[in-house]
Amino acid sequence: MAATAAAAAPALSSLSSLTVRTPTPPFSFVFPGPLKPFSLSRSFPSLSLIAHAKASDIDTSFFDNVNPEEDVVFDPPTPPEGFTPPPSFDDGPDETEDEIAAAYEELYGPAYSGFSVLGNDVYVMDSKVKKTSAFGKVKKEKVRDGFEERVVQVRRVTKVVKGGKQLHFRAIVVVGDKQGQVGVGVGKAKEVIAAVQKSAVNARRNLITVPMTKYLTFPHRSEGDFGAAKVMLRPASPGTGVIAGGAVRIVLEMAGVENALGKQIGSKNALNNARATVVAVQKMRQFRDVAQERGIPMEELWK
């Protein structure tokens, strides 16, 4: 044991002569100097009073005489001379049933019962549906809105699908009140009656106003085209009648025109000719409207 300690002594003395060097770090930390105090008055001169305000500078003498537990009595200001207070909501007379019904109809429209307090038309395009007692079928009442219906054409059309052909009917209907309102509609269905009803509803959604003179004719000439169909319209003298054919004649008669000349040029397609007639009518303008836009009297238009 003593021999082992004596042998280790020179080794320890040799190790003590060595110096241990720590590696130099690749980066160093640089600490900033002491921060200066921030002053609002120096940065923002306009806030110098707020920055240096003290609690003793705030005036709180108003709250010295106020007891928070005391009941505060409301003292309203004196009303001006001749002031009349408005009546209370509950003091007025009760509304009648007619007034309540009128207010309800103004908000939500006429009731489904078919009675209108404000005089609105309860027979809209989608007319009321009632059930007949014969076979329990559902039947629609005819629309009673002052418009007459004329069927221009009913054709059988087929659609080729994967399983074969589907048969439908296409109807073209012209509606009008014979007082300047007219519309052209088209609809398809598996039955003729349903197709006519659909086209009538479609025609009522596309109503236009036909400009007419006191002799129930056009104010001036006009031409319109739709697709390959072209229609030419001309005014006529009283007693001439409607000299036109096909869909043009039906559209003019349903609009209330009694003296006019019409000619179909090009295609004989009934739907395109009817729509071309509508396009030609929409191009017409009354003389008073043109004079009003120009800011001149109507006599100046013929000079």
pLDDT of residue 127: 45
pLDDT of residue 13: 53
pLDDT of residue 97: 82
Tens digits of residue pLDDT in 145-154: 788 999 999 9
**26-43 burial string, b = 16+ CB within 10 Å, else e?**
eeeeeeeeeeeeeeeeee
pLDDT of residue 134: 52
CB 281 within 8 A of CB 233: yes
CB 177 within 8 A of CB 147: yes
Q: State the Rg of the chain over Cα.
A: 47
| CATH fit for domain 222-294, picks 2.60.40.10, 3.40.50.10090, 3.30.230.10, 3.30.360.10 | 3.30.230.10
Segment (H or E) for 157: strand 148-161
pLDDT along the chain (303 residues), means of 10: 54 50 53 54 51 67 75 84 82 79 77 64 50 52 76 93 92 93 94 92 93 93 95 94 94 94 94 96 92 89 81
What pTM was estimated for this model as a whole? 0.54
Tens digits of residue pLDDT in 189-211: 999 999 999 999 999 999 999 99
Report how far residue 11's alpha carbon sits from residue 15's, in angstroms, rounded to the nearest whole number: 6
pLDDT of residue 142: 59
Domains 148-209 and 222-294 are alike in CATH topology: no
pLDDT of residue 69: 82
- Fold classified for 148-209: Double Stranded RNA Binding Domain (3.30.160)
Residue extents of the structural domains in the chain: 148-209, 222-294
Burial class of residue 206, CB neighbours in 10 A (0-12, 13-18, 19+) = middle
Report how far residue 84's alpha carbon sits from residue 103's, in angstroms, rounded to the nearest whole number: 29
**63-97 burial string, b = 16+ CB within 10 Å, else e?**
eeeeeeeeeeeeeeeeeeeeeeeeeeeeeeeeeee
